[in-house]
Structures are given as structure tokens and as C-alpha cells.
Amino acid sequence: MDSGAVYRERLADFITRLGALKEEHCTAPVHRQQCNPVERRVQEVKKALRAKAFDNPRRWDQHLPEVLFALRTRENAATGTSPSRLLLGRQLARPGGWAVPYQCQPAPEERDERAPVHFQPGDRVMVRERRQAAGNFKRTWVGPYPVVHVEGEGVYVVNRDGTQYPFHVDE
């Protein structure tokens, strides 16, 4: 969506020339994709679709209902409840959910206390694809590729298509 940046810039220049605004008081440019809650939700949808359409990115539209259902029933950190509960006053029943006993998910603190990941030479690992081709739903992770040797704490050299590259465990 066009936010009229050209017109806002012209207006700021005009006001500066009049002397009503000093340049040092201008604010830094805003990154709308990060500040706008709608854009953040769009990024969440795209991330989930990328994960679901991993094998066939061209068929992303088939995964949209499932992704939207998951996002609408997931608890929001800001509100402490799911969007469906806020809108309907109750949690949506998951398809087939009435036949499956309820299981508690581990608390975020418990998930963060996982043991550190260590790989040995010969282990096969997935690596993040940095050179993504055009398209929103292309694969983010590729592989698996064999670990050649351990470079340092959390850094592994991986043989990727005949060439050795260092990767950090967070990548």
C-alpha cells in the first residue's frame, strides 16, 4: 500500500523552508513492515505458509485455511488469549479435537532450557538457504548435508554440494 512518502517529504521540505521545522527535529524513517501490526500478521502468515508449503511452494493456497486456523487459535502474547476467544468468547474446536485428550504444552521457559545442540563429523544437518529465489514461499532450509568437522563452539563446516561452508548452529 502506498503511504504517500513523496508527498510527506515535500511537505516536510516546505515546512523546513518556512522555518517552522528544524531539520534536526525530524524523526527517523519508520519501517512500516515492523511497526504496523497488520504487516506483522502478514509476516506470520507468510512464515507459516513457507513452512507448510515446503515441498511444493506453488501450492501454498491449499495450506491457507489450516494456517489461518492455527493463527486464529494460537494465544497472543499481548492479549494473553487467542483471537478466536476474543471474538467468539470461546476457543474454536479443532477438527477431531474432541476425540484427542488434552495435553499441556511446555512453558516457554522449559522450551528455552533445552540442551545445547552438538553435531559430530558425519552427522547430516539442514542449513538455512540465504540465496532465495524469487517468490515468497520458497524453501528456507535445505539439505541435509554432512558435517565435515567442528570449527568451534556452535560452528560447523558443512559439505554443501562439494563445497565446504562454515555454519553457526543458529543458522
Q: pLDDT per residue over 5-56, tens digit each?
A: 666 677 777 777 776 655 554 455 555 555 677 888 888 899 999 888 888 8
Shared domain for 98 and 148, answered yes or no, is no
Number of compact structural domains in the chain: 2
Q: Would residue 10 count as lying in a domain? A: no
pTM of the model: 0.43
- 72 with 83: CB under 8 angstroms? yes
- Residue after which a domain boundary falls, among 43, 72, 102: 102
Greatest Cα pair distance, the chain, in angstroms, is: 70
Q: Give me the residue label for grid cell 554443501.
A: 160
Shared domain for 80 and 135, answered yes or no, is no
Query: How does strand 141-152 pair with strand 124-128?
Result: antiparallel
Q: Would residue 20 count as lying in a domain? A: no
* Domain limits for position 74: 29-102
Question: Average model confidence (pLDDT) for the chain?
Answer: 76
**How far apart (Å, rounded) are the C-alpha atoms in residues 135 and 52?**
15
